[in-house]
A = this chain, B = another copy of it.
């Protein structure tokens, strides 16, 4: 007997037909004798509807009341799934965030889970009942409703899995796993059978939308084995294995050769800003990035170009595309302090990242990347690296070409093309 958490997203919960389909998938696992907790999202579109109500009511809405409103979406689907399960002979009940309870910080609309009380949950599971838990929600110490921020249901699922010491946390979604890169760009992309938490974190944060970044971080911290798999197969048949997100120790098992690179991600939602002719003196860089930090703008890649030999230098960096206007505003206001000559924004960029724990023990990963891109005449505008990632900024027009070239260069192409 295993204890498992099954998590279903908004697309899987969109309407009663799909909820019935989810119920059959849950029954399949329950019928094996597993102890099953299910974490559900709101019907797709519902959270948007509720968020829009709040915005309409007041653009400066109270986050405490926002939470009361938007938490209702998952409340509805958890009750409906419990009903659908009972209808096919599976004992089930819903446990709302305040009923378990799931205690969170009081950072309304973006709360963090503190503790999950498992006494009642364990008793329910031990009795053979399926526990249906609305994702995304919890309550503060004082008993007010909280939500975890958009996409928070993945985090709820991992937190529940950690609290109940689950053997596995299966995230059912609209893709059947994590791929070496976006299959829409590279048809020969392969599904990755196992990926480490660290790699998944890097891939999640650079544009692969399969799992919410926070949930991966939590899984890593709590050592929760996560599987990403499709919710759209035959609900009664054993599902095709998806991608397991696990610790590094588990990766070697059964694999003859360790891949150097696990996956390639791209992110078109960055914007580049260049400050031309910044005085080349101590404190110059701080005068640029302090005001951005104060405005809570995340700066990603930073390049300080070769000095002009005139006592001045160019500074280039990237910010999230959605923050570009605000960033320019902050920098315009700080123009005198910084003393730059010109401000040049550029949204026609794309960040390409290659990720793999293999690169820790292998040299030449970056060199392969630069050479492969140079071979196709793709100019690199900026570079950043971490222990298991190399990212380059290129012109957006070359996105698909660059991803394809790198996928081949690192030997990731499937042998039989899809």
Please determine whether A65 and B93 come into contact, CB atoms closer than 8 angstroms: yes
Please determine whether A99 and B143 come into contact, CB atoms closer than 8 angstroms: yes
Interfacial chain B residues near A56, Cβ < 8 Å: 16
From A78-86, A207-215, A225-233, A374-382, the one touching the partner chain is A78-86
Interfacial chain B residues near A57, Cβ < 8 Å: 16, 19-20, 80, 83-84, 87
Q: Which B-chain residue is minimally distant from A77 (CB atoms)?
A: B69
A64 interface residue per 8 A CB criterion: yes
Please determine whether A16 and B53 come into contact, CB atoms closer than 8 angstroms: yes
Interfacial chain B residues near A86, Cβ < 8 Å: 58, 61-62, 65
Q: Which B-chain residue is minimally distant from A50 (CB atoms)?
A: B76
Q: Taking A19-B57, A53-B16, A98-B98 as contacts, is the C-beta distance between A75 and B65 under 8 angstroms?
A: no
A76-B73 Cα distance, complex, nearest whole Å = 9
Interfacial chain B residues near A96, Cβ < 8 Å: 68, 145
Q: List 15 A-B contacts (CB under 8 A).
A: A16-B53, A19-B57, A20-B57, A53-B76, A62-B83, A62-B86, A65-B82, A65-B83, A65-B86, A68-B76, A68-B94, A69-B75, A69-B76, A69-B79, A69-B83
Please determine whether A68 and B75 come into contact, CB atoms closer than 8 angstroms: yes
Near B by CB (< 8 A), chain A positions 74-117 give 75-76, 78-80, 82-84, 86-87, 93-94, 96, 98-99
Interfacial chain B residues near A306, Cβ < 8 Å: none
A72-B137 Cα distance, complex, nearest whole Å = 14
A201 interface residue per 8 A CB criterion: no
Interfacial chain B residues near A79, Cβ < 8 Å: 54, 65-69
Q: Chain B nearest CB: distance from A40 CB in Å?
A: 12
A145-B67 Cα distance, complex, nearest whole Å = 18
